[in-house]
Amino acid sequence: RKEVEQDPGPFNVPEGATVAFNCTYSNSASQSFFWYRQDCRKEPKLLMSVYSSGNEDGRFTAQLNRASQYISLLIRDSKLSDSATYLCVFTGAGSYQLTFGKGTKLSVIP
């Protein structure tokens, strides 16, 4: 099983739609989880951390399910400006690195 798996998409959704991405991870000792956003040919930018209790930031909601080893990102009322690649990231025990998934591409269509 790969360390982290994301559906590469693309997810093509109309403006105003709700869209959700999942990301599974294999290391049960993973400690911290994040979603990053990356625009084409730009650097990744931290979108939000992910907590077991779930957390919300405006139209974005992130959730962690440790039992099933996945994290999710829900985007409500999609905007054109949400078009980007969304990367799931985690830290593991015994390593200092942040491990990135390959990303899920989202295109919001007018």
Partner 1 sequence: DTGVSQDPRHKITKRGQNVTFRCDPISEHNRLYWYRQTLGQGPEFLTYFQNEAQLEKSRLLSDRFSAERPKGSFSTLEIQRTEQGDSAMYLCASSWDRARGAFFGQGTRLTVV
CB distance 50 to 64 below 8 Å: yes
Cβ atoms of 63 and 71 within 8 Å: the answer is: yes
Residue 13's beta-bridge partner residues?
108
**Would you say 84 or 89 has its CB closer to partner 1?**
89
Q: How far apart are CA 94 and CA 56, in angstroms?
A: 29
Binding window for partner 1 (CB under 8 A); candidates: 11-19, 63-71, 76-84, 93-101: 93-101
Residue closer to partner 1 by CB (options 40, 67) is 40
Q: Which of 2, 26, 39, 45 binds partner 1 (CB under 8 A)?
A: 45
Q: Contacts with partner 1 in 62-91 (CB under 8 A)?
A: 87, 89, 91
From 10, 20, 28, 42, residue interacting with partner 1 (rule: CB under 8 A): 42
Q: Please check whether residue 73 is in contact with residue 35, taking contact to mean a CB–CB distance below 8 angstroms.
A: yes
Token digits of residue 49: 């951390």
Residues near partner 1 (CB under 8 A) are 8, 31-32, 34, 36, 42-46, 49, 87, 89, 91, 95-103
